[in-house]
Structure 1
Amino acid sequence: MIDETDIRIVEILQQNARTPNAEIARQVGMAPSAILERIRKLEERGVIEGYSARINAEAYGLSLTAFVFVRADERLGAPLTGERLAEIPEVQEVHHVAGEDCFLIKVRVAGTRAMRLLLQDKLGAIDTIRSTRSTIVLDTVKETAVLPPPTLGSNDD
Structure 2
Amino acid sequence: MDQLDREILRLLQSDNRLSSAEIGQVVGLSVSAASERVRRLNGAGIIRGNHACLDPGRVGLPLCAFIFVDLAPHPDEEGFRQQLMARAEIQEIQQIAGPHCYLLKARVAGTQALQQLLADHIKSHADVLRTETVIVMETVKDTPAMALPADGALEPAGQSDPLRAKA
In structure 2, what is the equivalent of residue 19 of structure 1? 18
Higher RCO, 1 vs 2 (CA within 8 Å, ≥6 residues apart): 2
Q: How far 1:72 sits from its partner (Å)? A: 1.1
1 CA distance for matches of 2:151 and 2:97? 29
2 CA distance for matches of 1:23 and 1:74? 54
In structure 2, what is the equivalent of residue 93 of structure 1? 92
Please show how residues 94-133 of structure 1 align to structure 2 within 5 Å: 94-133=93-132
Q: How far 1:124 sits from its partner (Å)? A: 2.7
Matched, 1:40 2:33: no
Give CA-to-partner distance per residue, 1:42-66, whole Å, 9 cap, x none: 1111111110000000100001000
Q: Which runs of 5+ in 1 are unaligned?
A: none
2 CA distance for matches of 1:12 and 1:150? 15
The TM-score, its normalising length taken from structure 2, stands at: 0.88
In structure 1, what is the equivalent of residue 148 of structure 2? 149
Structure (1 or 2) with the greater helix fraction: 2
Q: Secondary structure at the match of 2:54?
A: coil
Task: Kindly report the root-mean-square deviation, in angstroms, between the aligned alpha carbons of the 2 structures.
Answer: 1.6
Q: Which runs of 5+ in 2 are unaligned?
A: 157-167
- 1:36–1:77 CA distance, 2 compared to 1 (3 A): farther
Identity %: 35
Give CA-to-partner distance per residue, 1:50-98, whole Å, 9 cap, x none: 1000000010000100000001125389433223212211000000001
Task: Please tell me the residue identity of whatever aligns with 2:141.
Answer: K
Matched, 1:64 2:63: yes
Q: Secondary structure at the match of 1:59?
A: helix
Task: Please tell me the residue identity of whatever aligns with 2:41.
Answer: L
1 CA distance for matches of 2:25 and 2:62? 40
Task: Please tell me the residue identity of whatever aligns with 1:60.
Answer: V
1 CA distance for matches of 2:39 and 2:73? 40
Q: How far 1:123 sits from its partner (Å)? A: 1.1
Task: Please tell me the residue identity of whatever aligns with 2:13.
Answer: Q
In structure 2, what is the equivalent of residue 5 of structure 1? 4
Q: How far 1:6 sits from its partner (Å)? A: 0.3
Q: Secondary structure at the match of 2:58?
A: coil
Q: How far 1:153 sits from its partner (Å)? A: 2.4
Task: Please tell me the residue identity of whatever aligns with 2:55.
Answer: N
Task: Please tell me the residue identity of whatever aligns with 1:108.
Answer: R
2 CA distance for matches of 1:141 and 1:124? 29
Q: Verify the 8 A CA contact 1:66 1:137 in the aligned structure 2.
A: yes
Number of aligned pairs? 156
Q: Which 4+ runs in 1 deviate beyond 2 A?
A: 74-80, 151-157
